[in-house]
Chains A and B, each alone.
Chain A
Amino acid sequence: MPEWLQLASLTDVLGTTLRLSIPIAFAALGGVIAERSGVWNIGLEGMMLAGAFGAALGVFLTGEPLIGLLVGMLCGMLLALMLAVLAISLGVNQIVSGIAINLLSIGLTAFFARLIFGLDATTRSLAGFHDWPIPGLASIPLIGPVLFNQDPLVYLLYLLVPLLMWVLYRTPWGLDIRATGENPNAADTAGVPVFTVRYLAVIASGALAAIGGAYIVLAQVFVFTEHMSAGKGFIALAAIILGRWDPIGAVLAALLFGFCDAVQLRLQFANPAVPYQIFVALPYVVSILALVGFYGRVKPPAASGIPYRREAK
């Protein structure tokens, strides 16, 4: 039997897959909500970074990972609010708005990180979430250690996916969101507050992307480094498309990218003679290939990317 098929090794790869896909999954879920309401959120990357920064800030000041998470979410929501003002109220092109948000986030987090944490920040480890084995479930072979011996944020994701499915497809709110994204004119005529729905959806997406970023700090590396989101927000954009603007699909796509990342890490360790950078590029390449393979079969929400303006009086 090849080495990678042995149980311990497989558990290891799958566990790593899950951990690496969590940040992308949260951001992609956020992106699904925003896009379903008609706002294309290129700013996910910046919001993740803001979440990571906020998390580090909260933990740095209080030592409490939970406070870190909340501060991170707050930072992400603030950026999302700015995106909403630009893209929804002012009607600025959504791509331009998103890029502006990303650049703003990179600049502000780098500035405040040096100001608050100091230059030696990367050498000091912050407090974070610890693994929380679920009694009973965690001892199932393979599935147990992979799925149920994780930190609380992973369990939060497990709860979030069915919750979002329910909200999006089974509640009046979800109907409002989808209507706003498909045909804001009709929604507006029917009395749906289009602008409010889009604002809330974008702010929610900021909060979720921020959790993704916070996860990197609170459960993976325990430090904040400049531009640490490193394109995960952009991979999340690919995951949204690949997952066909659906919460479950987006998480599955995120898992695929997490798997690529886990595989490339193993390849790195297995081939120390080959410069590792060639493997690091793998998840990005796979994201592009996945887009090429799956694009166009399912259409995005019809009004996604188009600023809504009420008809002139």
Chain B
Amino acid sequence: MARAMELLFATRTVWAVVLALLVGSILILSAGANPIEAYRVLFGEAFFDRFGFGTTLVKMSPILLAGLAVAIPLRAGLFNVGAEGQIYLGALFSSVAALYLPEMNAILHLSICVLAGMTGGALWALIPALLKTYRGINEVIVTLLLNYVAIHLVSFAAGGPMMEEGAPYPYSAEIPSALFLPLILLPTDAHAGVLVGLVLALILHVGMHYTSFGFAMNTVGLNPQAAQYAGMPVKRQMILAMMIGGALAGLAGTFEVLGVKYRLFHNFSNGYGFDGIVVAFMASANPILVPIAALFLSGLKAGAQLMQRAIGIQSTVVDAIQGLVVMFVAASLALRFQDTVWARILARRREAEAAVQGERSNA
């Protein structure tokens, strides 16, 4: 029994998600629909239908990258709630590179666009990182406020200097078609961005767990004093963690331009940066778990749109469920197995077994 509880504990994030879906079914009921049918349509369309799965993958690209963008700084003890803004800056930088550079080899141009986008995100993340490390200003407030600055900045660019002649609302001209990211699941819109995200998750997993750089970052996050004492460059690690996060979010924004929209639109991101926070929590800031959480969340979002069309429940129900997921996951993180009555029972059992063993060996 106690061992079963231990297993339940190890998977508590999953249970938190299940609980959130259960509470979500109350919301669906209140909207006058059958929750079982609603979830069947939602997950069926999102994961078992070619077009639906394509939509899931389109959403997974930014959500996965934003999840990594939150997870990496989290390992160094920093809350990057500014992924949304970094996504916008990434899109801005990469679309400027895509639209205004002279003609050149497509591969070279694409690489420049990607680098520009990552730089944009990283620079936007550098602001809170410097303010945190050198002035002690809380990075949470700064990144939250910078999100709004970035969103308005992109609206300004897309509605002003970069706006296409005669556009009905703020968007830029279309980028050259040579720069479009390859599609991976024809005839859907899924693009290669999600593959890049998967590879990066793997690289970051290895980097965080098997390199001295990752070790230093973890140590800084777990105990900055100890890290300092051990001679690790605490400030530099924090700044780097934040900039890596910013670059990943910037990449997410870049792929939205190069893979989905082909233009710089105002307000294009739909809160992907905030989805990244959800994903990073669900994955306990572990890069290798981020893709799983991202797949689940993007499926939830893609399925919601299709569910809205199929049975007429507002897709906003998914936003509510997403909030519930964060709530329950956050609550589940607080429960530590060591604190529970089951841990004590298990410990007693071990002691009892040891005692029995001891008596036997004495005999």
Residue pair B314, A115 in contact (C-beta under 8 Å): yes
Q: How far is the CB of B308 from chain A (nearest CB, A)?
A: 10
Does B30 touch A at the CB level, under 8 Å?
A: yes
Chain A hits for B330, CB < 8 A:
86, 92, 96-97, 100
Chain A hits for B149, CB < 8 A:
281, 284-285, 288
CA separation between A281 and B147, bound complex, in Å? 10
Residue pair B323, A107 in contact (C-beta under 8 Å): yes
CA separation between A278 and B152, bound complex, in Å? 6
Q: How far is the CB of B32 from chain A (nearest CB, A)?
A: 9
Interface digits, B298-330 against A, CB 8 Å rule (1 contact, 0 not)?
A: 000000000000000010111111111011011
Q: Which of B90-98, B154-162, B171-179 makes up part of the contact surface?
A: B154-162
What secondary structure prevails in chain B residues at the interface with A? helix
Contact of B316 among A97, A111, A284 (CB under 8 A): A111
A contact set with B: CB distance below 8 Å: 42, 82, 85-86, 90-93, 95-97, 99-101, 103-108, 110-111, 113-115, 226, 230-231, 234-235, 237-238, 241, 274-275, 277-278, 280-281, 284-285, 287-288, 291-292, 295-296
Q: Quick one: which of B10-60 are within 8 Å of A by CB?
A: 27, 30-31
Chain A hits for B153, CB < 8 A:
277-278, 281
How many residues of chain B are within 8 Å of chain A by beta carbon?
Answer: 50
CA separation between A102 and B141, bound complex, in Å? 14
Residue pair A103, B331 in contact (C-beta under 8 Å): no
CA separation between A295 and B142, bound complex, in Å? 12
Residue pair B320, A108 in contact (C-beta under 8 Å): yes
Contact of B277 among A97, A103, A241, A277 (CB under 8 A): A103
Chain B hits for A110, CB < 8 A:
316, 319-320
Contact of A292 among B135, B144, B324, B335 (CB under 8 A): B135
CA separation between A93 and B159, bound complex, in Å? 40
Does B104 touch A at the CB level, under 8 Å?
A: no
Contact of A278 among B148, B156, B320, B329 (CB under 8 A): B156
Does B140 touch A at the CB level, under 8 Å?
A: yes
CA separation between A220 and B81, bound complex, in Å? 29
Q: How far is the CB of B242 from chain A (nearest CB, A)?
A: 15
Does B195 touch A at the CB level, under 8 Å?
A: no
CA separation between A280 and B153, bound complex, in Å? 9
